[in-house]
Structure 1
Amino acid sequence: MGRKSPYPEEFRKDAVALYRAAAGNRTYAAVAADLGITAESLRTWVRKDEAQAVPEGRAGSVSAAEELGRLRAENARLLKAEQEWRLEREILRRAAAYFAREVK
């Protein structure tokens, strides 16, 4: 029985997608270094993903649906983060204006 990975499943999938997006222009080591993981971990994740991608020859539709779901979830996460950043920026803008008036 193997031990549990310290990296969440979503992180592993995103790492594999990032490596594949490089389309052969970057090595495992280069992508892994950007993510702060070992190249061997990334290589293992890519191999596992490739093995799962074609379990019964009908992975095209399943993979597309899974990819669509993953992208929608990522989009929702990014939209939420954008809202939080906009709120933080507005608060900081108002604080800066307040302190600028106070200094005068």
Structure 2
Amino acid sequence: MPKPYPEEFRDDVVRVARNRQPGQQLKQIAADFGISESCLTNWLKGADVEDGNAPAITSEQNADLRDAKRRIRLLEQENEVLRRAAAYLSQANLPGK
């Protein structure tokens, strides 16, 4: 898998693509920067999402969601340990043991 382009480079290419002259095609801009047209299109879509111009989850929201899922998974594991400990301790306190 090729190394990702630096964020500054992406931002520069997106800015040039958004401010292109009428009649100038994305294909030519992509060729000028040495990237594929589909790559440029994806960067433009991502920039629209990050700027709030397109409905989707931003990278910040995605990071928050990932952290929340990690926290939920940890809490579920802790809950399972406590449930098993409670069951074990309730068995130990039964008469006749």
- For normalisation by structure 2, the TM-score amounts to 0.48
Structure whose CA Rg is larger? 2
